[in-house]
Structure 1
Amino acid sequence: MLAFAAMTGAIAIWTGFSALKLLSTDPTVQFRSYQLLHVGSAAVGPLLLLFALAYTDRSRWLTRSLSVGVFVVPVAFVALLFTNPYDVAIIDTRIVDADGLVVWRADRGPAHVALSFVYAALMAALTLAVVLYESVRTDRTYYPQAALLTVAVVAPIGASFLTIAGVPPFGREGVNLVPAAAGLSVAALGIATFRYRLLDLPPIAYTTAMRNSPDGVLVLDSNGRVVHSNESVGQLLGVSPPFTGKPVDAVLPELCDETDDVRTVETETPEGDRFLELRSQPLRSQETTVGRVIVLRDVTAQKRYERSLELRNEQGELLNQLVRHDIRNEMGLVLGLLRRVEPELERLREDSPEVHDRLAAHTDRIRWNCEHVVDLTETVGELLQTIDQREREPRPVDLEPVLEEELEIVAAAFDDARIEVESELPDATVYADEMLSSVFYNLLTNAIVHSDNPRPEVTVTVAESADRIAVAIADDGPGLPEGPTDLLTGETPLSEYEGPGYGLYIVRSLIEGYGAELSVAENQPTGSIVTVRLARADGDRKPAAAQTVGVSDSAPSDGTGAVIESERSSDEMTGWSND
Structure 2
Amino acid sequence: MSVTQFDLILFGVPALISVGVALFAWEHRSSPGGKPLVIHGLGSAVWILSYGIGTRINSQLIAPRMLGVSWLAAVVVAFSGMYVAVEYTERTWLKQPIALGSVGGYLCLEALVIGLNPGGLFYTRTPTVVQAGTPVYEFGIWWTVHLFVVFVAATAMLGMFLEAYLTQSGAYRQQARTVLGGVVVIYLTAIIEVAGLEPYPDPLYNATMAGSTVLSVTFLWALFYADFLELAPIARRALLDDIDDAAIVLDHQDRLVYANGVAHDLFDTDPEYVGMPADDFVSSAGNQELNQLTEVADGKTGIEITNGNEKRYFSVSASTVGSDERRRTFVLHETTAEREYRHRIEEQRDNLDILNQVLRHDIRNNLQLILAYTEMVVDTIDDDELQRHLETVSENAEQAVDLTKVAREMAAVMLSGEQELEAVSIRPVVMSEVEQTREAYPDANIITASEVQQVSVRANEMLGSVFRNLLKNAVQHNDKPVPTVAVSSKTEDEHISIRVTDNGPGISDAAKEDIFGKGEKGLDSGGTGIGLYLVKSLVESYGGDIWIEDREEGDVIETETPADTPPEGVVFIVNLPFIPKD
Query: Which bin holds the TM-score, normalised by the shorter protein?
Result: 0.7 to 0.9
Question: What's the offset of the Cα at 1:42?
Answer: 3.6
Q: Per-residue deviation at 1:134?
A: 7.8
Deviation at 1:73, TM superposition (A): 4.0
Correspondence for 1:230: 260
Residues 217 and 295 of structure 1 are in contact (CA less than 8 Å); yes or no, is this contact kept in structure 2? yes
Q: Which residue of 2 aligns with 1:205?
A: 235
- Number of aligned pairs? 519
- What is the letter of the counterpart of residue 543 of structure 2? G
Secondary structure of the structure 1 residue equivalent to 2:240: coil
Q: Which string of whole-angstrom CA distances, capped at 9 and with x for unpartnered residues, describes residues 155-179 of structure 1?
A: 5455333322223558757732111
CA distance in 1, matches of 2:520, 2:199: 91
Q: Deviations over 1:170-198 (max 9, x none)?
A: 87577321110111221333344334433
* Aligned: 1:255 with 2:293: yes
Match of 1:293 among 326, 329, 349: 329
**Where in structure 2 are there 5+ consecutive unaligned residues?**
1-28, 30-34, 283-289, 523-527, 553-565
Whether contact under 8 Å (1:467, 1:539) holds in the other structure is: no
Please state how far the C-alpha of 1:216 moved relative to its aligned partner: 0.8
Q: 1:210 to 1:435 in 2, by over 3 A?
A: same
Cα distance between partner residues in 1 of 2:373 and 2:443? 29
CA–CA distance in structure 2, aligned partners of residues 73 and 255 of structure 1: 48
Relative to 1, partners in 2 of residues 1:157 and 1:241: Cα closer, same or farther, differing over 3 Å?
closer
From the superposition, tell whether residues 219 and 445 of structure 1 become closer, same or farther in structure 2 (CA, over 3 Å).
same
Q: Matches of 2:339 and 2:510 in 1, distance apart?
A: 37
Q: Secondary structure in 1 aligned to 2:305?
A: strand
Cα distance in 2 for partners of 1:171, 1:520 equals: 102
Q: What is the CA distance between 1:440 and its match in structure 2?
A: 0.9
Distance 1:488 1:512, change over 3 A: farther
Q: Secondary structure at the match of 1:70?
A: helix
Whether 2:568 is the aligned partner of 1:538: answer no
2:419 corresponds to which letter in structure 1?
R
> Which residue matches 1:306?
342
For residue 73 of structure 2, what is the aligned residue in structure 1? Answer: 40
Kept after mapping to 2: 8 A contact 1:389/1:513? no
- Contact 1:21–1:30 (CA<8 Å) still a contact in 2? yes
User: Which amino acid in structure 1 is aligned with residue 573 of structure 2?
Assistant: T
Post-superposition Cα deviations, 1:40-79, rounded to whole Å, max 9, x if no partner, equal 3242133334544544556786578865763444455455
Quote the offset at 1:259 in angstroms: 0.7
* 2:148 equivalent in structure 1: 118
Secondary structure at the aligned position of 1:427 is classed as coil
1:16-42 superposed Cα distances (whole Å, 9 cap, x missing partner): 3445566x4846676665344335324
What RMSD over aligned residues (CA atoms) do the two structures have, in Å?
4.0
Q: Note the C-alpha offset of 1:306.
A: 2.3
Q: 1:323 aligns with which of 359, 364, 367?
A: 359
Q: Which residue of 1 aligns with 2:140?
A: 109
Q: Aligned equivalents of 1:178 and 1:160: distance in 2?
A: 5
Report the counterpart of residue 531 of structure 2 in structure 1: 503
- Aligned ranges 1:482-493 → 2 under 5 Å: 485-488=512-515
SS for the counterpart of 1:452 is: coil
- Shift of the 87–368 alpha-carbon distance from structure 1 to 2, 3 Å rule, reads closer
Q: 1-side partners of 2:480 and 2:385: how far apart?
A: 31
Q: Distance in 2 between matches of 1:240 and 1:125?
A: 35
Aligned partner of residue 297 in structure 2, secondary structure: coil
1:512 aligns with 2:540: yes
Residues of 2 paired with 1:408 and 1:498: CA distance? 25
Asked whether the equivalents of residues 487 and 504 of structure 1 are also in contact (C-alpha less than 8 Å), the reply is no
Secondary structure of 1:259's aligned partner: helix
Q: Evaluate the alpha carbon distance shift between residue 137 and residue 422 of structure 1 in structure 2; reply closer, same or farther with a 3 A threshold.
A: farther
Does the 8 Å contact 2:423/2:457 carry over to 1?
yes
Aligned equivalents of 1:481, 1:249: Cα separation in 2: 70
Distance in structure 2 (CA, Å) of the matches to 1:422 and 1:194 = 88
Aligned to 2:561: none
Q: 1:230 to 1:56 in 2, by over 3 A?
A: closer
Equivalent pair of 1:390/1:513 in contact (CA under 8 Å): no
CA deviations over 1:72-95 (Å, ceiling 9, x no partner):
444554555456566544415577
Q: Classify the secondary structure of the residue corresponding to 1:193.
A: helix
Aligned sequence identity (%): 25
> SS where residue 204 of structure 1 aligns?
coil
Matches within 5 A, 1:88-167: 88-90=121-123, 91=125, 93=127, 103-114=134-145, 116-124=146-154, 142-146=172-176, 155-156=185-186, 158-167=188-197
Contact map agreement 1:77 1:112 (CA 8 A) in 2? no
Residue 260 of structure 1: CA displacement? Answer: 7.1
Deviation at 1:534, TM superposition (A): 0.7
1:431-446 pair list within 5 angstroms: 431-446=458-473
Separation in 2, partners of 1:31, 1:177: 20
2:551 corresponds to which residue? 523
- In structure 2, relative to structure 1, the CA distance for the partners of 1:498 and 1:139 (3 Å cut) is farther
Q: How far apart are the structure 2 equivalents of 1:206 and 1:412?
A: 73
Separation (CA, whole Å) in 2 of partners of 1:394 and 1:7: 64
Asked whether the 8 Å contact 1:152–1:186 carries over to 2, the reply is yes
Letter in 1 for 2:346: E
| 1:274 has 2:317 as partner | no
Cross-structure match for 1:428? 455
Q: Map residues 371-520 of structure 1 onto 2, 5 A cutoff.
A: 371-389=398-416, 391-480=418-507, 485-488=512-515, 494=518, 500-520=528-548
CA-CA distance at 1:520 after TM superposition: 1.6
Cα distance, 1:418–1:83 mapped onto 2, change above 3 Å: closer
Q: Residue by residue, what CA displacement relative to the aligned partner does 1:436-455 show, whole Å, maximum 9, x if unpaired?
A: 11111111111221222222
| Partner AA of 1:534 in structure 2 | L
Q: CA deviation at 1:332?
A: 4.4
Query: What SS class does the counterpart of residue 452 from structure 2 fall into?
Result: coil
Give me the TM-score of the superposition, normalised by structure 1. 0.76
